[in-house]
Amino acid sequence: MFLVGIRKELNVVPSFPKIRYEYDIPMGYSTSRAGKNHIEVLSPHDHYVDHYDLSSKLMPAVTVAQAFTDLPPIYHHLDGRTGK
């Protein structure tokens, strides 16, 4: 959930980018209910946005482990020196 504060006199309603990645979240998480008209906030919720706007083609989501596989290992902090 994101909480965004915007001054009334600006007269704008925030929007979210379209969802581009396909993912499966267990039912216990609030984001698993996104797009199903399940309001997650207390009243007043006049500007609640159910962020379930999908892109035309969804790509498979990437796990943290997959994202880190091509990063080089960091070992310089183990060489015994202190400071930067």
Quick: pLDDT tens for 1-21: 667 788 889 988 777 788 888
Site of tokens 């962020």? 51
Listed by start position, the domains of the chain span 16-78
What is the C-alpha to C-alpha distance for residues 22 and 35, in angstroms, rounded to an integer?
Answer: 14
Residues 32, 50: contact at Cβ < 8 Å? no
pTM given for the model: 0.47
Q: Which residues pair with 19 in a beta bridge?
A: 54
Q: Summarize pLDDT for 57-77 with one digit per residue, the tens.
A: 989 988 899 999 999 988 878
**Helix/strand/coil for 21:** strand
What DSSP state is assigned to residue 67?
A: H
